[in-house]
Amino acid sequence: METEKYDKNSNPSLGYYPEPGWEWQKPEPKTYLVEHDLAKYARAWILNLVEFVHWLPFVPTFILSFIIFQHSSNLHLLLGSDIQVFLVLLSPLVQTFGGLMGITMHEYEGWQVVFFQNPLDTDFKIKDCNNEWLREVAYKLLFFLQGAGLLAFSLGVFGINKITLAFAAISAIIAFIGPQNPKATFYVNEQPVFPLSVSMSIVFIVNAVVNFFAYFHLFDTALATANLPIVLAGVAPALLMLGGVIEGVIAESTFNQWWHFIAVIFLNLGMIVQIYFFGLLW
């Protein structure tokens, strides 16, 4: 094994952020952004806004979980069992904490969405661009946990029986042990996006569709009672989906940090809408 670049005197405490490393201190725009006239979108105050809205979903998530806990007896009457109430309560927590996979990647990147270069076959430098292999790992874990959150909600709404248990088991097995290749990657603005395995993509899409129907199943009566269009039941999952598409497709192909900001605003709105709709149930 070649060890020419190994340096035993390397500083293990050396970081990518400016000294002394206050949270509001962000790295200078990466070389790719400078060379493509995109550095103006990566000023420290913009990156701090992007980081702030990434942490913000925890607030509506905890509020929603508390509301579900507070009205667990009402939800028990609606769903039929304690385990179903628990799964519905667990769903937003799993999805939001799953977002920590993306936050970890962004923290490593200096909160800059930039051209992704794979360190496994190139001379990668963090000051020039972002780590493609890290993105692939983050995507795998992010979508696994997001899918688990979707599945928990669906099981909570539709109940636990032979069909739903079989569906859950198949989803979990394929998502966990499925091969990392081939990827479902496609190109937008001549940039590769969505570096997620085909197997994980299929599991996630199927669970997202089932989850969409679960929203209608849970909220249709409450919406009708409130004289609201039943189609509104799909607003929350649609907002969450839209936020994910904007971040994963537009932000990661244009490298404009404002798209990154807008994407997470939609994710926050999706959580807030859920709080409102759950309030219609009791």
Distance CA 134, CA 69 (A): 36
CATH class of 38-279: mainly alpha
Mean pLDDT, rounded, for 136-149: 97
Whole-angstrom distance, CA of residue 84 vs CA of residue 24: 41
Residue 14 confidence (pLDDT): 80
At residue 193, the 3 state secondary structure works out as strand
User: What is the three-state SS of 63-99?
Assistant: HHHHHHHHCHHHHHHHHCCHHHHHHHHHHHHHHHHHC
pLDDT at 101: 96
**Mean pLDDT of the chain, nearest integer:** 95
How far is Cα 126 from Cα 20, in angstroms, rounded to an integer? 19
Please state the domain extents for the chain: 38-279
Tell me what pLDDT residue 53 has: 97
Give residue 5's pLDDT: 64
d(CA 54, CA 64): 17
- Residues 24 and 28: their CA atoms lie apart, in Å, by 12
Mean pLDDT of 27-55: 97
Instruction: Give 16's pLDDT tier (boundaries 50, 70, 90).
Output: confident
Cβ neighbours of residue 195 closer than 8 Å, sequence gap 6 or more? 132, 135, 136, 139, 183, 185
Helix (H) or strand (E) holding 186: strand 186-188
DSSP per-residue string spanning 91-122: HHHHHHHHTHHHHHHHHHHTS----EE-TTSS
Q: What is the pLDDT of residue 70?
A: 96
